[in-house]
Amino acid sequence: MRIAIAWYGAEGQSSYRYFHERGDDVTIVTPEVSSQFPLPEGAKAIVGEHAFDHLSDFDVVVRSAALRPDRIVTNGKIWSATNEFFARCPAPIIGVTGTKGKGTTSSFVASILREAGKAVQLVGNIGVPPLDVLSLLQPDDIVVFELSSFQLWDLQKSPHTAVVLMIEPDHLDVHKDMAEYIAAKSGIVKHQTAQDTVISHPLNRYSEEIARQSPGRRMHFADSGEHEVYIRDGAFYRDEQRICGTDAMQLTGDFNLENACAAIAASLEYIDDFAAIERGLRRFTGLPHRLKLVREVNGVGWYDDSIATTPGSAIAALQSFAGKNIVILLGGSDKGADYTPIVQEAQRVGAIVVAIGHTGETIAKLCQSQHVRVIREAGMMPEVVRAAAEIAQPDGVVILSPASASFDQYKSYSDRGDQFVAAVEGIATHGTN
């Protein structure tokens, strides 16, 4: 079979390896090749600005997640690594989507199920290409799959258990509008059956809109209805059964309590072991760049929340430190978001904003209009951290929670976070000399 791998990055690399080892006639078709992902030796390739003009004669075009399906013109089938995995996976799949929290929730689920003795593969948007583990799976395993809108866009088979977290406007630089974004997210339930389950956020209208499209059993998390998982008196409950105290959780922020509720609800579809749930919550200490304490310097806590690429995520970070003196680093590359809500929240809690990156100019002007103290810093992380250190107050916090993507100055949100951590470690070292 003649297969084209459309776009060559981390997922394209995995797809090429999978289909090539399967014995297909594979060609890489990509506008550019990065030094991070060089072409395999001897691989067929079409490279250049108009590479996608040459897809018409392939039997299958395997698109990478960020490539819009409507950019592909072919006489063959448009496919993806996610579709290939769902079509051939022998194990049940728990799919998790949302604008924020999906990586943390997926990790909570995997941690809980592993503590219950299950063999679990955690794959998808969290960084493990699903096709890399497909050959390892057994029917009794469980797959936890973090799913972005790009992966769900043209999905043809939905997961057995779908978790739909809080959803807000995002990726509007790629999706035409919010309606298209929600339509893409809906792939997580669109092909469910009456035997499947969807777990949604009861107070988020977009989450509920998606859940209503499922013919399966509908549940809520962080809600006290029948069979739901919720919080009462400092503990997680299912119905009237106490599961464990919320102090089992090692992460900061009320939003992570909601993520834990969603994860517990999904896990209880496969286990009935409250002790394993408590152990799983305790074992998971957080993912990199998710509101993680870097360290304290001169009485100031420095937090890396570089994953926060939407205003809603940054608002959640601000709310996690209510009552403290807060400096928040806002800005980056533009995804079409409205920054008014995060600036208004900064005004409400009395935070000082350091406006950075490409969107920093817009954010700085909004801050001035809302009477929020703001410093505009267009430099890289060493300059940004120095600017924040000069205005941070003892017993306060500095949060990198940019509400923007990273691609104006950095390779990725993780690169941005790593550079922030390095800069903070630099001032910490300097401060102890």
Domain coordinates in residue numbering, the chain: 2-80, 89-283, 292-432
61 Cβ contact list (under 8 Å, min separation 6): 3, 4, 6, 29, 55, 72, 74, 76, 77, 78, 79
Give the integer Cα–Cα distance in Å for 263 and 238: 12
Amino acid at 80: S
Instruction: Pull the structure tokens for residue 404.
Output: 């923007």
Give pLDDT, residue 433: 35
pLDDT of residue 432: 39
pTM (2 decimals)? 0.82
Predicted local confidence at residue 428, as pLDDT = 57
132 in Cβ contact with 89 (< 8 Å): no
pLDDT of 125: 81
User: Checking DSSP bridges between strand 93-97 and strand 217-220, what pairing results, if any?
Assistant: unpaired
Residue 33 is encoded by which pair of tokens? Answer: 């090749």
Tokens of 215: 């013919």
Minimal CA–CA distance to 283: which of 244, 319, 309?
Answer: 244
Rounded CA separation 100/312 (Å): 8
Q: DSSP character for 295?
A: E
Q: Does domain 89-283 have CATH number 3.40.1190.10?
A: yes
Q: What is the Cβ-side half-sphere exposure of residue 309, based on CA atoms within 13 angstroms? A: 23
Contact indicator for 333, 359 with CB cutoff of 8 Å = yes
Structure tokens at 160: 């057995």
Asked whether the beta carbons of 162 and 183 are under 8 A apart, the reply is no
* 29 beta partners: 6, 46
pLDDT at res. 224:
73
Give the amino acid at 414.
S
Paired tokens of 16: 């090429």
pLDDT in tens, the chain (433 residues): 999 999 999 899 999 999 999 999 999 999 999 888 999 999 999 999 999 999 999 999 999 998 999 999 999 999 999 999 999 999 999 999 999 899 999 999 999 999 999 999 999 988 689 999 999 999 999 999 999 999 999 999 999 999 999 999 888 888 999 999 999 999 999 999 999 999 999 999 999 999 999 999 999 998 777 779 999 999 999 999 999 999 999 888 888 999 999 999 999 999 999 999 999 999 998 888 888 899 999 899 999 999 999 898 899 899 999 889 999 999 999 888 899 999 999 999 999 999 999 999 999 999 999 999 999 999 999 999 999 999 999 899 999 999 999 999 998 999 999 999 999 999 855 543 3
Q: Using alpha carbons, list the distances in angstroms from residue 51 to 66, 72, 234, 267, 366.
A: 16, 11, 56, 44, 41
Confirm or reject CATH 3.40.50.720 for domain 2-80, answering yes or no: yes
Beta bridge partner(s), residue 92 = none
d(CA 240, CA 374): 48
Burial 163-197 (b: 16+ CB within 10 A, else e): bbbbbbbbbbebbeeeebbbbbbbbbbbebeeebb
d(CA 99, CA 203) in angstroms, rounded, equals 14
Extract the runs of DSSP E, i.e. beta strands, from 197-263.
Answer: 197-200, 217-220, 229-232, 235-238, 241-245
Tell me, which fold does domain 292-432 have in CATH?
Answer: Protein-Tyrosine Phosphatase; Chain A (3.90.190)
